[in-house]
Amino acid sequence: MRRSDYHLVTTSNSEIMLRVRARGRRILRNPVANRGTAFTMEQRAELALSGLLPGKVSTIEEQLRRTYAQYSRSPSPLSKYIYLSQLRDRNEVLFYRLLSENLEEMLPIIYTPTIGEAIERFSHEYVGQRGLFLSIDRPELMEQSLANYELDGDDVDLVVVTDSEGILGIGDQGIGGIQIALGKLSVYTAAAGIHPRRAVPIVLDVGTDNLGLLHSDVYLGEHHARVRGERYDAFIEAFVAAVTKQFPNAMLHWEDFGAGNAHRILERYSDRICTFNDDIQGTAAVVLAAVLAAVRLTGVPLRQHRVVVFGAGTAGVGIADIIREAMIRDGLDADRAHDQFYAFNSRGLIVEDGTGVRDFQQPYARSRSEVDGWDVADPVRITLDETVRAVQPTILIGTSAQTGAFARPVVTAMAQSCERPIIMPLSNPTSRSEAHPADLLDWTDGRALIATGSPYGTIRHGEVYHTIAQANNALIFPGLGLGVSVVRATRVSDQMIYASAAALAGLVNEYRPGASLLPSMSDLRLVAAAVALAVARTAEQQGLARTPMTNPINDIYQRMWKPEYPRLEVLPVEGE
């Protein structure tokens, strides 16, 4: 669309108004302006739409009933995803209204797990796409490409970017990763009310190591191996410089970068710009919230818990880092905090003289002198079962994508020495989960406190119905982005991440037997508002807010866009 044809403005009383200069079929082709059969007769006359629509004027409620019925008739999750994508590209307000009113049902479609299939099928199903595609082979076009998105610096609160190397457990997916950026932005809007036109999805095309994509004639990305090393780092640096110049008030959200780059990039830029990595910090915050709720039930102070992290990749180490910081807040000596953790990579327990230990895993390596006294079959590859028997952990976290890794011997050994074992098989999808929660309840006689990565709903054990908490990042990142945007924070600090977790944990009423350790996904709007308030207040306390709040509750509430058709102001056609 031409920027002069449509312009969204916020009035003095916080009402969103759309100024329209276009006419006729151009209106119906633009998802911002189009409202289909909901155009009134007066609007149809003013906008030259008479005769282009059926005669009946529909309310948005009537449109919602029609679109939900069409959605429900779609025969598969992928076809439902495609239907919703087409609706979004046809009528943005109607899409977000439908999503907002059915968020718990539709979240698995527009986000994980269905979006994984959509990403894999991206080049095959391509019919036009929102978002920006920035190629490492044409870095000189970066600034122009950002300008081509036709948004000014004050218009953007959020940029979600991926290089698609570590997509949702399915690995390198090339430029198909643009779909995960779009999915994240849909959740930001539906859960936290960040206006869809104040966010930009971007994929960095640095090549792919996916041989299936490279040998496919329909693949739409660069046909060469993934670029690494100095050239990759220079491209990332150029991107950060260009995007912060074009959108100086936006939070830069990194998504699904490979483990080798994610921690490194976050560490490099976290003190320079307002930036956030959901795989590291978002996952860590939502898991910490579940841990804090579970710890309250155990009656044992957090600082006294022993934690096993099975799968010390991007997410696993991020979880260990934030729990470690929480333990220090709880009074544990900082020099001893790493001693409470036992981390695993693909070669077993991470030991200081082991092979394949990455830099970000090194702080969690155990000393050789400690493990020499354990009863193990192979000291070079110490297993999860052997570690559980040796250290008697109270918290077991799985981010390994190894199906069934939390087997019965592991769980029963843990339960023998721990009255209320906290067990969190977090790997997605369900086919990769370390354990099924029903088994965990059976093996611990219903004593386990459980959070999972996938939705499991309610499971009966004996006379108690256990609502299984889903540790979904959607409980954290929308509210964090909203809080940052409300105060225009200059950085995302560790204290802001901790505040988001504490706010989430504070919404849990875990004292009913079998109650969930986290809020329901159906409460995402409430959750996002509470998280945003805690994040914004922390940013103010740390002196990171460029726009301090005057009335915090109202400031948060007013920024949460509601998907309603805006008031139209019809402008004269240019040249009239």
Tokens of 190: 């539906």
Query: Can 184 be counted among the known catalytic residues?
Result: yes
81-91 burial, b for 16+ CB within 10 Å, e for fewer?
bbbbbebbbbb
Q: How far apart are CA 536 and CA 374, in angstroms?
A: 47
> 477-487 vs 178-192: helix axis angle to the nearest 10?
70
Q: How far apart are CA 224 and CA 222, in angstroms?
A: 6
DSSP summary character for residue 140? G
Q: From residue 171, how far is each of 119, 177, 210, 259 by CA, in Å?
A: 11, 10, 8, 11
- Out of 6, 111, 269, 456, the active site residue is 111
Q: How far apart are CA 278 and CA 286, in angstroms?
A: 10
Q: If we measure between CA atoms, which residue out of 11, 65, 91 comes closest to residue 565?
A: 91
Strands 6-10, 16-20: parallel, antiparallel or unpaired by DSSP? antiparallel
Tokens of 317: 């180490």
Tokens 């020495």 -> residue: 417
Peptide bond just before 113 cis, omega within 30 deg: yes
- Out of 71, 80, 184, 498, the active site residue is 184
3-state class (DSSP) for residue 275 = strand
Radius of gyration over every alpha carbon of the chain, rounded to an integer in angstroms: 25
Q: If we measure between CA atoms, which residue out of 147, 145, 201, 210 comes closest to residue 178?
A: 201
Query: Can 465 be counted among the known catalytic residues?
Result: no
520-553 burial, b for 16+ CB within 10 Å, e for fewer?
ebebbbebbbbbbbbbbbbbbeeebbeeebeebe
Catalytic residue IDs: 111, 184
